[in-house]
Structure 1
């Protein structure tokens, strides 16, 4: 008898209201194991609200969230992190007195040696080596993110693209099964965005981590994702592979206005 593995992350029928405003209305989303899923939509569509529901910062009035088949709708962000959910933020929050490597070491110790955090940061114990296993884990992440040459650089003054990669590195050090990426390309130039896309593909393929990208850069999402969900005014208007999303008139209308198809017809005539 064949059984189907539960999705890494799933939202079922999520509805969120703020007073009389319906921010999300009966939205479903599935992130499979080792998959890359995109979530896009025009400004104000409800992407950030759904992201907050998935990460545990906001509880829906209706619907449920599952991690590896287990309901976590009422679980805190910390409890979800312990079950394998990690996330990044639009604005990286880094410790100015630490190096690039220090940040990954600190995140690794949150996962593997939480008792050392106090001595590392507060009692001047410093970042003394914990052994070969920690070094191996940290070096693997730095290599994966192409940060090896900058490992000992202080984070003060890092380019935004490098800071974003470092935040991804901190999340990976927690050994998540699914990683939520909040507008990762915001403020980056074309080269930095391309480098980020390569890293995300490597993370999925080499570490088996599932990725959910909430992004304003639709082309980045379409180029990376196996499946894309499009929401507008809190409603899911399309879901499918990138080719389906590109061809969907509902998506064109949401981004270009209701007269997009009419304009195209006039152009052809």
Structure 2
């Protein structure tokens, strides 16, 4: 099945009863989460809540102790990260993983070719010969993504030495170039200033509206998540303590207790 040929009624990715144990430590305890088509879903929680562990399970880097991961209704719990990528999953990392010797544009070209001309990746990376020729469609799509993330002016710069915020935008651009149907974003606004964060939020909204991509967003910037997301899930010590619309989550006493140390009546514990 093509990564973009999906059932429009099924979650793009779903965790069902996911539990992860590291020895005697329960990092995730029976967690459920769904990312519907063409939606933005937020995942928040205090440090150590289990957000990164759940991301690792969803992306195929970690096998859960129990529970299941489904993509478009198909069980992929035992599938590799590469297999999930072929089904339409892409992700970014908390610390950008880039090739120092390549330019900004070449990273986006690589992302595009992973989806459209995978056989060229070897020559692209090893000999750089593949970068000298491109189809019209490739150039147009790469230019579109660079412009959307305000990277056109740095397109020909090597990524080595770029500020953290710009490096993060390059990684997001490369992930979007794969044309995923679900994109997992790990702290995408880290290192960005307020203006860049606002521009990134607008880009995410356009991507969902124009291309039907689903986004799962892990962020310490809770206001950004609440402002962007259709649904927000909240983890605390590996347990999902709340899920709902941003307004519902903002008003949930359990969320206030997890973040602010307030008791059930709003008093500091």
What is the TM-score of this pair, normalised by structure 2?
A: 0.92
Q: Which segments of structure 1 move beyond 6 Å, counting only runs of 4 or more?
A: none
Aligned CA RMSD, in angstroms, stands at 1.7
Q: Cα offset for 1:96?
A: 2.3
Matched, 1:214 2:218: yes
Out of 8, 13, 17, the residue aligned to residue 12 of structure 2 is 8
Partner of 1:86: 90
Give the Cα separation in 2 of the matches to 1:152 and 1:4: 38
Distance 1:147 1:248, change over 3 A: same
Out of 52, 55, 66, the residue aligned to residue 56 of structure 2 is 52
Report SS of the residue matched to 1:263.
coil
Give the aligned length: 262
Distance 1:173 1:111, change over 3 A: same
Partner of 1:135: 139
Any stretches of 5+ residues in structure 2 without a counterpart? 1-6
1:71-82 alignment to 2 at 5 Å? Answer: 71-82=75-86
Give the Cα separation in 1 of the matches to 2:104 and 2:201: 20
Q: Cα offset for 1:73?
A: 0.6
Give the Cα separation in 2 of the matches to 1:105 and 1:186: 24
Q: Cα offset for 1:124?
A: 4.7
Any stretches of 5+ residues in structure 1 without a counterpart? 265-269
Question: Contact between 2:254 and 2:264, CA under 8 Å: does it hold in 1?
Answer: no
Matched, 1:146 2:150: yes
Deviations 1:210-262 (A, max 9, x none): 00001111111001100000011111111000000111000000111143744
Report SS of the residue matched to 2:79.
coil
Give the Cα separation in 2 of the matches to 1:4 and 1:188: 33
Report SS of the residue matched to 2:132.
coil
Give the Cα separation in 1 of the matches to 2:117 and 2:161: 29
Partner of 2:123: 119
Question: Contact between 2:49 and 2:235, CA under 8 Å: does it hold in 1?
Answer: yes
Tell me which structure has the larger Cα radius of gyration: 1
Out of 63, 66, 72, the residue aligned to residue 67 of structure 2 is 63
Distance 1:190 1:238, change over 3 A: same
Partner of 1:238: 242
Report SS of the residue matched to 1:213.
strand
Distance 1:139 1:124, change over 3 A: closer
Question: Contact between 1:181 and 1:211, CA under 8 Å: does it hold in 2?
Answer: yes
Question: Contact between 1:144 and 1:202, CA under 8 Å: does it hold in 2?
Answer: no
Report SS of the residue matched to 2:11.
coil
Matched, 1:251 2:255: yes
Report SS of the residue matched to 2:267.
helix
